[in-house]
Structure 1
């Protein structure tokens, strides 16, 4: 199903790569303003290409890219390859070191209707347009999106492990505490094996919906402009993606909690609890730090923190679930977060409908559990609703149902980083003699 192609990657030159930590950057949708300002101080940091700034940000990125290529800051590999990318990381409270294994390559930019690349969340048009404009001006992929394929036989891992015996470079520790390692496979027969495995797979887009849709928008514009000359083999039909195996136990999805900054209607604590009790069994607890453990593994269960020692575990009454009448699939209705958004945000707080909730500024999405508690204690929020993580099985069920999840349902950890690998989608890429070897 999914057509992938090796790439002749653009990378920082051999001297700069020895200090790669100085040039990598977080993805555009997770970098904070403070992080941005620090990274912008380095004139060679990848953020100048991935999150450019100025009145003509995309134009500034194009000019900088041309300068870096002319000066040899970025250099293109001679041979096409599959770039193996491992991320080593730990989770709080665990001594285990995880290693998420994957590889970067070009994948054909399939429309959603083709059901080859599947999505699980909606996008914001402004962010899609921003990414499409940057792609149009630079013809350069600055950071890989994250896709998931399922291979229970783990057929490709042996080749990736072998490549990792001779890494190209690695970070000491990126902004999120992970250690990132890059290697490359340039053996034609092994690359073709990767292509055959993916040719029978669907791909779930885990992270990077805006960047992927930016590629779709740019590809459509170029296809219209090409007219009858369009062949489908042009480089701009492809998108840079990091692919990992959904069957691996090192694939981690962290919970994203809901922080209600202000109630949309006047509610006292007692009135809020009374409304919650209409739909949920409400249990009073003593210690807010017990909440993650008390709700772990329990469907439709949430922690509630209202400050000043007011700690509760709530769990939906099973018979109430039938009231959930949003026009979506059973797979989405079964999700914890759908229950939270329907019964808490809509029924209890009065923010009616999924679209109104997407636009509502009274809710913040926070991954850090202690931060949720402290912001309530400081009076920055009225309530924290603590959630369980979404499972990979739930993501797959929702994607195959053709529906999308509530906003900010998944946080795949760790995030990929920018600056490790760049790729070109200029017309000249497909003129390289090696390209024909890997066409289907």
Structure 2
């Protein structure tokens, strides 16, 4: 069973630091140098100074970005810029945002979740991880002793039964509000009612949790807990900070992750069609990416991909003729995994059918406008529109203890860092 707890989070004292919008930041993995500097300039207390501290000349093993993050955190606590809540709480988190012209509201709650090694219990990953980010996050855990940014977890609850326990408390008082650089409005309510917390813990007990985002942070938490050697099962190091959202929440959306392919010659649509011809049938030709994407959305399947060739400005959609070919390319995977659009793209299209054209390198984008901008700028030779995986895919594949290919899902928007921090040493 997934075990969750209320916790005494550390939060900004807005009387000391000012506007919450000025001190929150996205997670480290979507921050480039320009945004990093912008967040540094926004406030001397911005969470970027913990989440992604700058390298400095002369850094060494004893003085570096990780040790600076740890010292900054301790200074903020000492000067009461960060204060620990007095009661164990759950924290309702709401995000209002726009995606592809539509407005959504996604709601969930922050809790501490007991760590368990993958494959042993009721917490399931859905994507592969890389060693580099885990080593980076472990150094930060060691230097700070905190979960700075949350893992994003999903749980099955089609009737939204769990959140209905917490929802009345969001109407009893105004939330804390922050607006980020993407225009996403975040709202936070602190729930201290012990009966409500107990009810949520009881309802969550039998439910599995699927990690939507933050796999590296979760695996780092396991490594950190192992290092700490905490024998008390309730020790803070045996838990991680997690945002939990029902799979039935109407604001939970998965954006597609399209591929911009470089490293090829100036290929034409005719060349790509010929390369795909053995296994794909062209089912539509279009003047632009928007029309091609509309065709993919109307089709709704995973076996149709959209292709745009920069050299001649043409777009077409191609449908896989026989899905059985994937069983031969990935025999160790389930039929659900083999049928994913992203699996078909990588295993069949990129690794096999287009391999003779060159060695591709990939850039990942999520919006059709990003694709059209890249094509207009000739930033790639080939653009591929990929249908998004669904929540059903995540539940089926992760529940089967398989991991989807990297960049299979993009749960938009990312969760902010800085709304609440979780100590791994002090409960």
Taking structure 2 as the reference length, the TM-score comes to 0.92
209-218 vs 277-286, greater mean Cα deviation:
277-286
CA 1:17–1:83 in 2, change beyond 3 Å: closer, same or farther?
Answer: farther
> Counterpart of 1:215?
221
After TM superposition, list the pairs within 5 Å mapping 1:132-143 onto structure 2. Answer: 132-143=138-149
**Residue in structure 1 matching 2:339, options 334, 337, 354:** 334
Q: Which of 350, 362, 368 is matched with 1:345 structurally?
A: 350
Offset of residue 151 of structure 1: 1.4
Map 1:242-253; keep pairs closer than 5 Å. Answer: 242-253=243-254
Query: Offset of 1:18 from its aligned partner?
Result: 5.5
Root mean square deviation, CA, Å: 1.9
Q: Tell me the CA shift for residue 323 of structure 1.
A: 5.4
Q: What SS does structure 2 have at the residue aligned with 1:44?
A: coil
State the partner residue of 1:27. 27
The alignment's TM-score, normalised by the length of structure 1, stands at: 0.89
Matched residues, number: 411
Aligned to 2:237: 236
Q: CA deviation at 1:203?
A: 0.3
- The structure 2 residue matched to 1:170, chosen from 168, 177, 190, is 177
- Taking structure 1 as reference, are residues 200 and 6 closer, same or farther at Cα in structure 2, changes over 3 Å only? same
Misfit runs of 4+, over 4 Å: 265-269
Q: Which residue number corresponds to residue 357 of structure 1? A: none
SS of the aligned residue for 1:90 comes to: strand
1:242 match: secondary structure: strand
Deviation digits for residues 324-351 of structure 1 (CA, Å, limit 9, x no counterpart): 4212122200111111112211112229
Q: Distance in 2 between matches of 1:87 and 1:188?
A: 25
Q: Deviations over 1:106-160 (max 9, x none)?
A: 0011110213210011111111011111111111111111000111232222232
1:60 paired residue among 68, 81, 86: 68
The equivalent of 1:274 in structure 2 is: 274
Q: Measured at CA, do residues 53 and 278 of structure 1 come closer, stay the same or move farther in structure 2, by a change above 3 Å?
A: same
2:329 is paired with a residue whose SS is coil
Are residue 148 (structure 1) and residue 154 (structure 2) matched? yes
Q: Is the 8 A contact 1:27 1:417 kept in 2?
A: yes
Instruction: Give the unaligned 5+ runs of structure 2.
Output: none
Q: In structure 2, what is the Cα distance between the partners aligned to 1:246 and 1:78? A: 31
**3-state SS, counterpart of residue 289 of structure 1:** helix
Whole-Å Cα distance in 2 between the matches of residues 88 and 164 of structure 1? 15
Q: Is the 8 A contact 2:92 2:188 kept in 1?
A: yes
Shift of 1:412: 0.5
Superposed CA offset, 1:358-388 (max 9, x none): xx87111111222222323322200000112
Given that residues 269 and 308 in structure 2 are in contact (C-alpha distance below 8 angstroms), is that contact kept between their aligned partners in structure 1? no
The equivalent of 1:407 in structure 2 is: 406
Larger displacement relative to structure 2 (37-46 or 151-160): 151-160
Residue 325 of structure 1: aligned partner: 329
Change over 3 Å in CA distance of 1:90–1:270 after alignment to 2: closer
Q: What is the DSSP-based 3-state SS (H/G/I as helix, E as strand, rest coil) of the residue aligned with 1:87?
A: strand
Q: Is the 8 A contact 1:7 1:106 kept in 2?
A: yes
User: Within 5 A, what are the aligned runs for 1:9-408?
Assistant: 9-16=9-16, 19-41=19-41, 42-54=43-55, 55=59, 56-94=64-102, 97-165=103-171, 166-171=173-178, 173-223=179-229, 230-263=231-264, 269-282=269-282, 283-296=284-297, 297-307=300-310, 308-318=312-322, 321-322=325-326, 324-326=328-330, 327-350=332-355, 362-408=361-407
Distance 1:115 1:213, change over 3 A: same
